[in-house]
Amino acid sequence: MSRSATLSLQPSLLSVVDNNRLRLFSGSANISLAQEVARYLGIDLGPMVRKRFADGELYVQIQESIRGCDVYLIQPVCHPVNDQLMELLIMIDACRRASARQITAVLPYYGYARADRKTAGRESIAAKLVANLITEAGANRVLAMDLHSAQIQGYFDIPFDHVYASPVLLEYIASQKLSDIVVVSPDVGGVARARAFAKKLNDAPLAIVDKRRQAHNVAEVLNVIGDVRGKTAILVDDMIDTGGTISEGARLLRQEGARQVYACATHAIFSPPAVERLSSGVFEEVIVTNTIPIPADRQFEQLTVLSVANVIGETIWRIHEDSSVSSMFR
């Protein structure tokens, strides 16, 4: 079974929320997270009708006046990705046509983020396409958490607030009183993320799992750059999809003498066969957040789910009050 935890962030001036202007609505992707955010802000989720017609088309209706209001729409673009994205676009369009003053798309998870550049000819940059769709639908601002690629912020010509789950993850890790920590990037591409994480853990040492394919159709050769022998290794990534990369890295760390191995990621996509890989015994604990809902059949004994609702709620409040967001992460 999973264990849940939450960041002990305290509301800042939330007792004076302007209920006449701030409106919060949730798509169908992660209603439980949206409810937690609403509780943090001390308001209710706005009433909305969502349904699907016989041919599969989606229908959305906002059931209260939002004329002149600042509207925040919470909808991670997770499985089923295309349905959740389309629902978000329809929600934005409905709010625009209802004369909302400002519409902020709150994306705890940004789908299509891995398609952020062309790696071969005749490919789409779908992350940019999604940015265009959200903007053209009528969003005035975007709030997203732990983008796979920070450059996606530049795909938008509207204000973009990029926030991080690291305060939640770091607080939990600190509470576990782990010793001899080494932070590990599961691939070369995640080194910057792992380095920033290690710095917040009292400048913990850093290691990297380096994967190299010697030739076509030849198995990958894995190497660990850094000392992990006798240490508690924390593999840090932005997301876990099928779990292949992070599980291979964990097995290698065990072979190299790591005493314990933890996985730490923001987004728990958990596409098959992720659960089998993550629960195979190579990890002491798999620590993720609730940006994406995790159904019961994808939970397992080593899983710990932390809530990012307070971080998202505090960010919404600061945007609404025209206060600094970046200062939350200093």
Model confidence pLDDT, tens digit, residues 142-164: 999 999 999 999 999 999 999 99
Query: Are residues 210 and 317 both part of a single domain?
Result: no
**Minimum mean pLDDT range among 100-104, 212-216, 270-274, 320-324:** 212-216
Q: Read off the pLDDT band of 14 (50, 70, 90).
A: very low
Q: How far is CA 101 from CA 7, 22, 65, 95, 203, in A?
A: 31, 10, 12, 9, 44
Phi, psi of 94 (to 5 degrees): -60, -40
Q: What is the pLDDT of residues 170-193, one digit of tens each?
A: 999 999 999 999 999 998 889 999
Residue 14 lies in a domain: yes
Query: What CATH number is given to the structural domain containing 285?
Result: 3.40.50.2020
pLDDT (0 to 100) of residue 215: 59
DSSP string, 247-279: HHHHHHHHHTT-SEEEEEEEEE---TTHHHHHT
Query: Are residues 303 and 314 both part of a single domain?
Result: no
Q: What is the CA radius of gyration of the chain?
A: 21
Q: Where are the beta strands (DSSP E) in 17-155?
A: 22-26, 48-52, 58-62, 70-74, 102-107, 141-145
Segment 276-302 mean pLDDT = 97
Q: Read off the pLDDT band of 20 (50, 70, 90).
A: confident
Query: Are residues 222 and 303 both part of a single domain?
Result: yes
For the chain, the average pLDDT equals: 92
Query: Are residues 123 and 264 both part of a single domain?
Result: no
Q: What is the pLDDT of residues 202-241, one digit of tens each?
A: 999 999 998 775 555 554 758 999 999 999 999 999 999 9
Query: Are residues 37 and 171 both part of a single domain?
Result: no
What are the catalytic residues? 211
Segment 106-122 mean pLDDT = 95
Q: Residue 186 CA to chain centroid, in angstroms?
A: 18
What is the residue range of 239's domain? 167-307
Q: Read off the pLDDT band of 119 (50, 70, 90).
A: confident
- For the chain, the straight-line distance linking the first and the last C-alpha, in angstroms and rounded, comes to 34
Using a 10 angstrom Cβ sphere, with 0-12 exposed, 13-18 middle and 19 or more buried, the burial of residue 266 is buried
In angstroms, the CA 126 to CA 304 distance is 31
SS3 assignment, position 232 = strand
pLDDT (0 to 100) of residue 19: 58
pLDDT (0 to 100) of residue 330: 79
Query: Are residues 258 and 323 both part of a single domain?
Result: no
pLDDT (0 to 100) of residue 3: 56
Instruction: Return the percentage of the chain with pLDDT > 90, whole number.
Output: 88
Segment 269-286 mean pLDDT = 97
SS3 assignment, position 83 = helix
Residues with Cβ within 8 Å of 275's Cβ and at least 6 positions away in sequence, in order, are: 243, 297, 298, 300
Q: What is the pLDDT of residues 77-112, one digit of tens each?
A: 999 999 999 999 999 999 999 999 999 999 999 999
Is residue 237 a contact partner of residue 190, using CB atoms and an 8 Å limit?
yes
Q: Residue 119 CA to chain centroid, in angstroms?
A: 24
In angstroms, the CA 156 to CA 20 distance is 29
**Cα torsion angle, 83, 89, 95, 101, sign:** positive
Tokens representing residue 232 in the block: 């508690």
pLDDT over 60 at 18, yes or no: no
- Sheet containing 22-26: which strands, arranged edge to edge? 22-26, 70-74, 102-107, 141-145, 160-163
pLDDT (0 to 100) of residue 218: 52
Residue 3 lies in a domain: no
pLDDT (0 to 100) of residue 62: 97
Query: Are residues 96 and 208 both part of a single domain?
Result: no
pLDDT (0 to 100) of residue 231: 97
Residue 4 lies in a domain: no
